[in-house]
Structure 1
Amino acid sequence: MIRIERLDAGAACRHQSALAEVLHDCVAGGASISFMWPFSREQAAHYWKSIVAAVREDRACLLGAFDDDRLGGTVQLWLDGPCNQRHRGDVRKLLVHRAMRRRGMARRLMQALEAEARSRQLSLLTLDTATGSDGERLYRAMDWQSVGVIPRYALWPDGRFCDTTVFYKELAVTAA
């Protein structure tokens, strides 16, 4: 059974090896998520150290998806925008290990992220994803609004250009 947990800095440290494995697997699988191949597990572990610091400082919220006790997916809600944009958050690194896909993990992570954003009184979320990806299809199915496509925005891990689709979602929030 899949469960979603908010990972504080201590939990992120405890799960750092599993988080690194998920990230490494996604890059190895060709995901355009800011890293190039070859990409080592050590590089993945180093990345998560910076995320732990952001979580500790409440600049980011980290969610993990577990199937039984195995961490198989993660997503980040970034909260460190400028003072005139405190009403919005950025979604980053929706990652699901290839062995754990097609179980609804990504959808559950995004539902939990949206609930977390609402609890923080955020009324707008933004993200970008590789055009034509599973992520793009998921966001469209979850009623995210496409702003458009930026051609050659990033690179795939193998060095080919990757177009990016930019999305936003407005959230209904209740007064605090």
Structure 2
Amino acid sequence: MSIVISTPAPEQIEEALPQLITLFQDAIASGAALGFVPPLSTEEASSFWQRVQEGVRAGTVALFVAYHGSSQEIVGTVQLVLAPQSNGSHRADVAKMMVHRKARRLGIGRELLRALEAKAAELGRTTLVLDTRQGDAAELLYQSLDYQVAGAIPKYAQSGDGTLHTTVIYYKVLNA
């Protein structure tokens, strides 16, 4: 699978909205821990992506999109959310990593994170922080890319069936 990673401009996000909504709904339907429970309505997903678009427009969010090269189908995304505080100009959050279930285990998440880390370094953001549900496959990806466990919060996130899950906080300090 040929993958192209890009950082779309706000107007490109608007054009890609139907695909982004489909990707997000697929991620939630397949059990991804992204702050939403299934079923994710089109309206709720659209509202989410519009907030992302506003962040991109404001320069507080960098969105990375993975396209299947031959079809330009969106198969994954991740966000770099810049800390707004004056004492946080060196850090950012890694947020909302999602890969369509038909494209998982193909290295797309790894490529998205590599692109995100390169952009973070370019922006002088050397400390990255993220959280994920304990036991998810994403933990293995983050660990393989040298993200370190900072701690865990029990009963932090609720899944669609009401079960409360532990969330693990990871960080990575990039080479300056």
Give the TM interval when normalised to the shorter protein. over 0.9
The whole-number CA distance in structure 1 between the counterparts of 2:4 and 2:39 is 32
- Summarize deviations over 1:56-103 as a string: whole Å, max 9, x none: 000100000011211110000001431111110011000001111111
Give the count of matched residue pairs.
173
1:112, distance to aligned residue in structure 2 (A): 0.4
1:3, distance to aligned residue in structure 2 (A): 1.0
The whole-number CA distance in structure 2 between the counterparts of 1:157 and 1:104 is 27
Of 87, 96, 105, the match for 1:102: 105
Structure 2 residue runs of 5 or longer lacking an equivalent are none
User: In the alignment, does 2:129 pair up with 1:126?
Assistant: yes
Normalised by the length of structure 2, the TM-score is: 0.95
Query: What root-mean-square deviation, in Å, do the aligned CA atoms of Structure 1 and Structure 2 show?
Result: 1.0
User: In the alignment, does 2:156 pair up with 1:158?
Assistant: no
For 1:25, the equivalent position in structure 2 comes to 26
1:114, distance to aligned residue in structure 2 (A): 0.3
Q: Is the 8 A contact 2:4 2:68 kept in 1?
A: yes
- Summarize deviations over 1:24-54 as a string: whole Å, max 9, x none: 1011111121112222122111110111001
Structure 1 residue runs of 5 or longer lacking an equivalent are none
For 2:14, the equivalent position in structure 1 comes to 13
Q: Is the 8 A contact 2:25 2:39 kept in 1?
A: no
For 2:41, the equivalent position in structure 1 comes to 40
Normalised by the length of structure 1, the TM-score is: 0.95
**Match of 1:41, as an amino acid?**
T
The whole-number CA distance in structure 2 between the counterparts of 1:61 and 1:39 is 23
